[in-house]
Amino acid sequence: MSDTQHPLAVLGGEPIYPAGPPDWPITDSEIVKVFQELIKTGDWGRYHGPHCQRLREALKDSHSCQYAHLCSSGTAAVELALRAVGVKPGDEVIMAAYDFKANFTNIVMLNAVPVLVDLRTDDWQLDVNQLEAAISEKTKAIIVSHLHGGLVDMNRVRSICEPRGIAIIEDICQLEGARIQATIAGMGGDIGVMSFGGSKLLSAGRGGAIITNHNLYQQRITLHTERGNDVSPLSEMQAAVLLPQLHQLDERTRTRTDSAEKLFDALATTTGLTPIRSSYKDSMPGYYKAGFQYEPTAFGGLTRDSFSTAMIAEGFAVYPGFRSLHKIHSKKRYRAVGDLQEADRADDNILTLHHPILLDTSDWQSVFVQAVDKIRQFSHDLITEAN
Ligand SMILES: Cc1ncc(COP(=O)(O)O)c(C=O)c1O
């Protein structure tokens, strides 16, 4: 380092983790084999072939369920799930005030009303204690998303929703392969939705799926999607690349979880960056993102966004999370339960670490902590630079 170089990479210094995370998606020998086969058979360009059917069967097997429907994205899967459970104009659908934007938009698109509930203070997941206050005679369904390494208490969601006939859509787009209270993620409610987007744990560039045991839901999906042609299909090529990843999923879930735990242990004495963790029995989280509650006062008032920019410059993919939904939509579009105070906090201060690094088996966790400490030490320089 020259005398003039600032210790922080974002102010011109050397990044502390120059290698950065491993590439994503992973082009391993299994994927190479798939593409060789696709070329040999010509299945890469065919409407029909064996791969979609194999993927449906593999999803049914791994989730012990009766139906698996493949589609073009997680967003399409959520829309289909809402249609499957029979959401109609004027119905209400409960969801967390902090969630993926398209889940909100999908409800609005069906002329139904999102009912936003606040988050738990400790792990910023949907606060199940607020569900009863959210329910009205118009409530048709709930979307439960487990986000950024956190888990929602599905046992309690079921105990509240099932007796009232409220359909439970479990969004597992961020944790395929996880286990929640002894149940595989996606089977904790009436219908599970997953994403195979390009950054996701199971990647096909784009894609999604729905899993369920309800015959009626499957029929409604078929009715909606099959119009002489499938309206939101997954291709044979996409299904083919997903199959080996599905087989590798358990092992990768374990590796990612061990890696995240090691990071959380390394951060145990660090203030201002609290990992999002939920501690339900018989559970194994999934880490599309590892989330953190950021506390600016622990960094001399440095904003979450400036901290994120500084971490990215150091080589760590630490980004702000979603916007909370009540912050980016007109009040006319939703009904809110309570003051959504925690969703306000999450909107300002949630951070997420993108998953590829969790498969890196080097000791990057201690380097991560060094980066955090370095940013804390020189936070005044960053604040001065920003002003
Ligand atoms: C929680 C959640 N639900 C749904 C989706 C939508 O998935 P897709 O990008 O495949 O449309 C995402 C995507 O990031 C997500 O994080």
Residue closest to 364 by CA, chosen among 287, 252, 251, 267? 267
CA 109, CA 79: separation in Å to the nearest integer? Answer: 9
Other beta carbons within 10 Å of 156: 13
Final residue in a domain of this structure, among 246, 278, 306: 246
Tens digits of residue pLDDT in 155-212: 999 999 999 999 999 999 999 999 999 999 999 999 999 999 999 999 999 999 999 9
**CATH code of the domain in which 136 resides:** 3.40.640.10
- Band of residue 289 on the pLDDT scale cut at 50, 70, 90: very high
Pair 377, 260 in one domain: yes
Arithmetic mean of pLDDT, 353-367: 96
Residues of the chain above pLDDT 70, percent:
99
Domain with 175, as residue range(s), is: 29-246
> How far from 317 is each of 74, 110, 285, 302, 368, CA to CA, in Å?
23, 35, 20, 18, 11
Pair 22, 34 in one domain: no
Pair 90, 22 in one domain: no
Tens digits of residue pLDDT in 118-158: 999 999 999 999 999 999 999 999 999 999 999 999 999 99
Cα(130) to centroid(ligand 1), Å: 24
Pair 179, 199 in one domain: yes
Flag whether the pTM goes above 0.95: yes
The tokens describing 105, both together, are: 């938009």
Is the CB of residue 149 below 6 angstroms from any atom belonging to ligand 1?
no
Ligand 1 pocket test, pick from 24, 70, 73, 75 with the greatest ligand atom count within 8 Å of Cβ, gives 75
Cα(301) to centroid(ligand 1), Å: 32
Pair 57, 198 in one domain: yes
Pair 176, 288 in one domain: no
Cα(151) to centroid(ligand 1), Å: 16
Q: Would residue 3 count as lying in a domain?
A: no
Q: Would residue 5 count as lying in a domain?
A: no
Q: Would residue 360 count as lying in a domain?
A: yes
Pair 319, 353 in one domain: yes
Given a cut of 60, is residue 1 above it in pLDDT? no
Given a cut of 70, is residue 357 above it in pLDDT? yes
Is the CB of residue 367 below 6 angstroms from any atom belonging to ligand 1?
no
Question: Looking up tokens 């009904």, which residue turns up?
Answer: 335
Cα(209) to centroid(ligand 1), Å: 11
| Ligand 1, atom nearest to 145 Cα | 1
DSSP secondary structure, 320-352, as one string: E-PPPHHHHS-GGG-EE-TT-HHHHHHHHHEEE
Single-letter amino acid code for the residue at 233 = P
**CATH code of the domain in which 266 resides:** 3.90.1150.10
Ligand 1 pocket test, pick from 24, 72, 174 with the greatest ligand atom count within 8 Å of Cβ, gives 174
Cα(170) to centroid(ligand 1), Å: 12
| Ligand 1, atom nearest to 73 Cα | 10
Pair 143, 179 in one domain: yes
pLDDT of residue 13: 97
Final residue in a domain of this structure, among 246, 266, 297: 246
Pair 60, 179 in one domain: yes
Q: Would residue 196 count as lying in a domain?
A: yes
CA 94, CA 114: separation in Å to the nearest integer? Answer: 6
Q: Would residue 9 count as lying in a domain?
A: no
- 319 phi, psi to nearest 5 deg: -120, 155
Final residue in a domain of this structure, among 230, 246, 262: 246
Is the CB of residue 238 below 6 angstroms from any atom belonging to ligand 1?
no
Q: Would residue 6 count as lying in a domain?
A: no
Secondary structure of residue 192 in the 3-state scheme: strand
Cα(76) to centroid(ligand 1), Å: 9
Is the CB of residue 336 below 6 angstroms from any atom belonging to ligand 1?
no
Q: Would residue 4 count as lying in a domain?
A: no
Cα(103) to centroid(ligand 1), Å: 8
Residue closest to 313 by CA, chosen among 54, 47, 12, 35? 12
Secondary structure of residue 116 in the 3-state scheme: strand
Is the CB of residue 235 below 6 angstroms from any atom belonging to ligand 1?
no
Is the CB of residue 321 below 6 angstroms from any atom belonging to ligand 1?
no
Q: Would residue 263 count as lying in a domain?
A: yes
Ligand 1 pocket test, pick from 78, 82, 100, 169 with the greatest ligand atom count within 8 Å of Cβ, gives 100
Pair 118, 45 in one domain: yes
Please tell me the total count of domains within the chain. Answer: 2
Pair 338, 275 in one domain: yes
Tens digits of residue pLDDT in 20-70: 999 999 999 999 999 999 999 999 999 999 999 999 999 999 999 999 999
Pair 223, 106 in one domain: yes
Given a cut of 60, is residue 2 above it in pLDDT? no
pLDDT of residue 76: 98
Is the CB of residue 73 below 6 angstroms from any atom belonging to ligand 1?
yes
- Band of residue 3 on the pLDDT scale cut at 50, 70, 90: low
